[in-house]
Structure 1
């Protein structure tokens, strides 16, 4: 049995793919993770900006790359009915260009997800951010059966705020968050299932290709199964 098939049998999330034309979201295996970590180390934003509440992009290229490795390795097992963190590589024309995340708390009750993402600087300003968000929403609503999706960005992060507006979220207010020792305004956005259904055909038109989902049935089963924790060995 090929390695990928064996892994998908044991860990169904590894088989998840979302594709439209030349853009794909896929499970981050270690080979992809190394490429994405190096990409982050080469820069995501200007040095005088900080789009993230936790400033993980500060430091040398190797320090940033190691922080991506550590974070991704640390969240791979967080898939359960109560909480999940699903991070997928964004691959454009066969090249890894960033990461699109979908997270949820109290998933089995609320059916609400939150999206977060980043793109390497060389790949920004080309419409990829808008398209990958559409793919993430399609996975959340069509694939996972979400009831609601939320997103947010600091007020001075115009590119991320612009993606949320272009994709069709409704504004959900703003609040201040601590960022590098200062209070910074953070804008919130929300999309209901009804809103997404009204925009679904428009999203497909703008993507220019039908959206293909793969491996979602296995992921749903994984999200419905409480994690089994290994017993501690006898002392």
Structure 2
């Protein structure tokens, strides 16, 4: 039998590991989907009396949630290229799953050195500083390991928790974007923020990364930063 390469050697993002104190992040795999869907069903992501934080109510999809989630992650795997990529990170805190953090290239990252972050956190894990720590970890990774020069984030107008994290971490306001709802009816405004490398308010823990060189190669960056 010929040598079988580990999946991490075939697709470099699977080998990426980011840690920051008690927090661990790694690329999402399809086998994570049952756990993710079950956690959303059990705990939810947002309260019905809070402003809707997304453009569509994907977390309320019932039985279709797992299928939709699986298709979304497979699409991210299949469309990966140096010109267009989205790093979807499974986040755990002290060993328990808490949410998803993502980092997405803005156009061709090799030229723009710009990316956008987004995340969601299980409802019962909110308000404990976890969302702040996971954002600090991925921002440090983007600046220190990928050479990012601009990182953006946005939150729905009214989503004060998300916007407060951006302000706390050193972002500056960068206008508004208007988006049509996923069902094509109505619109919402998103408040945008922009962060430069020297303005990041870093975590109280060091950020440790393994697999960074292979990840850089997967997005067309030279190993020497």
TM-score normalised by L of structure 1:
0.84
Preserved contact between residue 36 and residue 97 of structure 1 (Cα < 8 Å): no
Unaligned runs of 5+ in 1: 226-235
Aligned partners of 2:160 and 2:84: how far apart in 1? 29
Please provide the CA RMSD for this pair: 1.8
Pairing partner for 1:195 from 189, 194, 199: 199
1:100-119 aligned at under 5 Å gives the runs 100-104=101-105, 105-119=107-121
Q: CA deviation at 1:31?
A: 3.1
TM-score normalised by L of structure 2:
0.87
Task: Report the counterpart of residue 46 of structure 2 in structure 1.
Answer: 45
Q: Show CA shifts across 1:164-203 (max 9, x none).
A: 111111111123322363332210000022323xx4xxx1
1:123-202 aligned at under 5 Å gives the runs 123-179=125-181, 181-196=185-200, 199=201
Aligned partners of 1:65 and 1:119: how far apart in 2? 17
Q: CA deviation at 1:24?
A: 1.1
Q: CA deviation at 1:136?
A: 0.9
Q: How many residues are paired up?
A: 212
Unaligned runs of 5+ in 2: none
Aligned partners of 2:65 and 2:161: how far apart in 1? 22
Q: CA deviation at 1:204?
A: 3.4
